[in-house]
Amino acid sequence: GENVEQHPSTLSVQEGDSAVIKCTYSDSASNYFPWYKQELGKGPQLIIDIRSNVGEKKDQRIAVTLNKTAKHFSLHITETQPEDSAVYFCAARGSTSNTGKLIFGQGTTLQVKP
Amino acid sequence: DVKVTQSSRYLVKRTGEKVFLECVQDMDHENMFWYRQDPGLGLRLIYFSYDVKMKEKGDIPEGYSVSREKKERFSLILESASTNQTSMYLCASSAGGADTQYFGPGTRLTVL
């Protein structure tokens, strides 16, 4: 079945450094790739997404890149701040989905040390 | 702002009990989802619904059922709770044809 693999499972960086989280997907027909951030005690919230017709998208300190040939996409956070500490999930929308069904990765716990 | 609420933040039940988890959204969304979140496994889809009284199995439906009698409410039912159903349960909703899912805060269920 469709699968999304996410690495690393945990990531610790110093404040101000960059953080990169990578995901690979199995369904070559997937066309939508969101990233969600889950803060402690809260549900996940969408922070950025990319579609298959775009290679890169930026929003202030966060960016996402997509390599369709290799079937992987990455989240880049620059100038990390303590409030970036959270669990991050990547996801992919399966090709057969017309109801917004997403396949999520395993999650990455990011810790930004002050 | 979209708001998704879940009936309980924490719940403790006994093995064999019937458990109801309720989710309500206030944005007239067509699609609603139930996930469970476990460390190292991410979010796994249990069931989803794209319309009132409609439901589809997700990736791990065994041991669960759902009910959607009204558009704003989606209930997850554990017919006979077991210890391996101890988990964080997240509800989400999205508008028909839209991509963004909005999540509730989650219910941490412990089955003893």
Report d(CA A33, CA B110) in Å as an integer.
32
Q: Name the average pLDDT for chain A.
A: 93
The nearest CA of chain A is from the CA of B36 a distance in Å of 11
The nearest CA of chain A is from the CA of B55 a distance in Å of 11
A96: confidence class by pLDDT, cuts 50, 70, 90: low
Q: Are strands B65-70 and A108-113 parallel, antiparallel or unpaired?
A: unpaired
* pLDDT beyond 70 at A8: yes
Handedness of CA A50, A38, A110, A81 (dihedral sign): positive
Asked if the peptide bond before residue A8 counts as cis, ω within 30 degrees of 0, the response is yes
pLDDT digits (tens, 9 = 90+) for B64-84: 999 999 999 999 999 999 999
* pLDDT beyond 80 at A9: yes
Average pLDDT over residues A1-28: 94
pLDDT digits (tens, 9 = 90+) for B41-60: 999 999 999 999 889 999 99
The reply to whether B107 touches chain A by the CB within 8 Å rule is no
User: Which of these, A46, A32, A48, lies nearest to A103 by C-alpha position?
Assistant: A32
Residue B46 near residue B60, CB atoms below 8 Å: yes
